[in-house]
Structure 1
């Protein structure tokens, strides 16, 4: 398109310097001359050879489209890590997931709390820095020093936790490396905006969402429906678990009966 700004040269230089590589080392890694690399970075080469662009794309694990069209210099570190983890809008064929974060006075990431009143607007505003900055902040000393954390309210009994509980999750950057049945807060672009489920990425590139409560049937979600995944780290409950009673035992028996009836129907 006429007037489209191209960022290939500046992006190449930025990525090289981000990895603390000299032109000599990178040109050797790419199998090109140092003078050619310098020309590519400076923009003197107006029409880079396709094999050079492919080699650079594969080396940095960022698509050619992103190298050409996105000014990587302006992205947050977390967004760059997402691209390098394989979550590239052009490589994956889906919308890039941009995570807005807030930082403290020392430029360290805050951990945010999403109260019930903010839950409804989270799905449409999670990538809005002003919205995220307005969320309450918290500190839990036992959380790892590195990572992005957020606490969400959960409802329902699908994961067998008390009503009104909250879950602190760690942001998952690379969905491809998620282990089977990983408990996660899943932010969906649909009717159910928040769900707490066991998550598995299937071979057909869909997510299988399972409940601990066997009354609830597993179901699948397309990758395009999932906006964020937050891996379970801490469960916060506001009331002590109730001791088992005859009613609870009867309820458990009914749940098992429902599961058995469903199985027989199939």
Structure 2
């Protein structure tokens, strides 16, 4: 709770309030409040809630982030009381983008809400991106042509589920799949129907409760040269035809099973 002590002292001084005023407003004694600022004792949950409401800062921020390092006006406040680090820019005013490396994709599930983990990621800047919070994720597998395995998808953070648009592609951080890049087909109640662009794979649904974060596609970075004809329309058409053929075979198998049962 040492961060809490530093934070409430910082917030009080920022408002230019005395310890007595804050203590009176929180309906506790000045001596008790002073112990919280000194780190001599820890506040019970009811006092912690009062502090959070008093300073208009989430409990998560109060106890996990050194607020002296960041501007509160720049921190994205999320509906589920989680936090995202501030929107940063470099000395030229371009967005600073955290890069999640391939080897750290599994670690991201444990660290996506940890400010220290996010700060440890390497960063890049791309000047033409508009306002918003951006992060780069590795593309893996062959489900989303023409983005090859090893490329990076740069996504803009989606703050509200209502901002999603059918037909657009997003990076979804989910409980079961981890980091996955898919196209949104539709929202069906409390679920999202997602589909890969590779016709060999089927669409599926993900419950909203299993989604941690959503990042809308902003741009991509290829890390290797494309082979000749690798992303030509003919290849995509072939994959689509193979997908349709696979589906027809499955339908024939199901039909044969039904006839056998009769």
Fold equivalence (TM over 0.5) = yes
Bigger CA radius of gyration:
2
Kindly indicate whether residue 142 of structure 2 is the aligned counterpart of residue 151 of structure 1.
no
Count of equivalent residues: 194
| Per-residue deviation, residues 34-60 of structure 1 (Å, max 9, x unmatched) | xxxxxxxx9599xxxxxxxxxxxxxxx
Distance 1:212 1:181, change over 3 A: same
Q: What is the TM-score with the length of structure 1 in the denominator?
A: 0.60
Q: What is the TM-score with the length of structure 2 in the denominator?
A: 0.61
Kindly indicate whether residue 170 of structure 2 is the aligned counterpart of residue 184 of structure 1.
yes
Distance 1:159 1:263, change over 3 A: farther
Match of 2:181 in 1: 196
Distance 1:251 1:111, change over 3 A: closer
In the alignment, structure 2 segments of 5+ residues that lack a partner are: 1-23, 28-48, 62-71, 256-262
Kindly indicate whether residue 118 of structure 2 is the aligned counterpart of residue 128 of structure 1.
no
Check whether the contact 2:138–2:153 (CA below 8 A) recurs between aligned residues: yes
In the alignment, structure 1 segments of 5+ residues that lack a partner are: 1-41, 46-66, 90-95
Other structure's SS at 1:214 match: coil
Other structure's SS at 2:198 match: coil
Match of 1:140 in 2: 126
Match of 2:159 in 1: 173
Between the aligned partners of 1:117 and 1:142, the Cα distance in structure 2 is 28
Other structure's SS at 1:122 match: helix
CA RMSD of aligned residues (A): 3.6
Match of 1:110 in 2: 96
Distance 1:143 1:73, change over 3 A: same
Other structure's SS at 2:172 match: strand
Question: Residue 213 of structure 1: which of 172, 195, 198 is its match?
Answer: 198
Other structure's SS at 1:73 match: coil
